[in-house]
Homo-oligomer: A and B are copies of this chain.
Amino acid sequence: MKNIFFTVGPSQLFPTIKKHIKSALEADICSISHRGEKFQEIYKKTTNNLKELLGIPESWSLFFLSSATEAMERILENCAKEHSFHFIGGAFGKRFFEISAQLGKIPQKIEVEPGLGFAFPDANIPKETELICFTQTETSAGTSVPMEEIYKIKNKYPERLITLDVVSAVPCIEINFSKIDGLFFSVQKGFGLPAGLGVLTMNDECLRKAKKLEEKNHCTGSYHRFSELKKMADKNQTKETPNVLGIYLLGKVTGDMLQIGKENILKDTKEKAKIIYDYFDGHPIYKPFVENRKIRSDTIAVINTPNVSKKIAGKLREKGIIAGTGYKDFKGTQIRIANFPAHSVEDINNLLQEFKNL
């Protein structure tokens, strides 16, 4: 029996991945030099495809890192001398905050309980803030911050840098890049790739801030400080030997997604999200954890399944359907369902059918 993974990442591989891995092996992609032309072409192709698919401005820099967690560290090292400000609605927002504290900075925050939204009209950012950190989609709780609220914050505080963790949102989200300064994600979620690659993209404001910190000898890291990343990216290379296969696969999958069309991916995501939430809104017992529809994530649906999440996950597994359980404290009381481009409408309907049969 073939399994299908609705786990929130790593998740179901994008349908073309196996084919691309096969072609990578045939073309010796895992043996080529990371200093050679062939690699540089792959690097450039992946960068260009990502920019086109996500609408990232040509002028933005795009760097390959090893994970989204690394991206949190690097952006804090390079864009905040001391003062970061965090909107926290779950475990990954907390991680972003903690990394700032571990780096010796003075992070501040607005924190809400998982599943709840922020009271944006009251959100006052302290004047010393250098970097505002949003976990746009909180994978642990299934919430998302409406992009319009983020843009309003930028309008209110145009001098502060704004960066977004969109790990579980891309490529199923529309972003106005003129209203933010940077974002990052990893590839084992919406892109349906094997894990082990992160992407960080940013405007020149972020690079300028990093340069200023570097010139004043603040600790901005070493081989992955922004000036080094930029210098190497301009050569379509990385300082270290990178995850070449990952960069190749990301180029291929983004190429496939461009063929499908961004519009279709967005439309499908909305459609599948509606099917999921409509079903559970109408379910007598298993209800969506996030009550406020405006902040429900399209890509991560968290469902309350009091005391039976493991039992449900076990029953689904018997049918080859792998669903995630709740995050940490919610492990026993929630099911998390990913709705990524690798999941078809049919897959979602099959999943819900099994819920009906429970």
Contacts and interface: CB of A to CB of B under 8 A. Distances in A.
Given A5-B31, A7-B31, A33-B10, A68 B102 contact: no
A196 B245 contact: yes
A246 B194 CA distance: 10
B244 A194 contact: yes
Q: Which of A3, A69, A72, A73 has the most CB of B within 10 A?
A: A69
A195 interface: yes
A219 interface: yes
Contact of A219 (B104, B196, B223, B322): B104
A302 to B, nearest CB: 16
A102 B221 contact: yes
Contacts of A222: 72-73, 76, 98-99, 102-103
Q: Which of A31, A66, A68 has the most CB of B within 10 A?
A: A31
A34 interface: yes
Given A30-B13, A196-B246, A104 B67 contact: no
A316 B315 CA distance: 57
A306 interface: no
Contacts of A194: 30, 243-245
A18 interface: yes
A28 B6 CA distance: 13
A51 interface: no
A10 B25 contact: no
Contacts of A223: 69-70, 72-73, 95, 99, 102
B196 A102 contact: no
A85 to B, nearest CB: 17
Interface in A220-234: 221-225
A12 interface: yes
A172 interface: no
Interface string A17-33: 11001000100101111
A339 interface: no
30 contacts: A3-B31, A10-B32, A10-B241, A13-B31, A18-B25, A30-B195, A33-B324, A66-B67, A66-B70, A66-B196, A67-B241, A67-B242, A69-B241, A72-B223, A76-B222, A99-B222, A102-B222, A102-B223, A103-B219, A104-B219, A194-B245, A195-B243, A195-B244, A195-B245, A196-B241, A196-B242, A196-B243, A196-B244, A196-B246, A243-B246
Given A186-B241, A243-B246, 19 more contacts: A7-B31, A10-B32, A10-B34, A13-B30, A30-B188, A30-B193, A34-B195, A69-B240, A102-B221, A102-B222, A103-B219, A103-B222, A194-B244, A195-B243, A195-B245, A196-B197, A196-B243, A196-B244, A196-B246
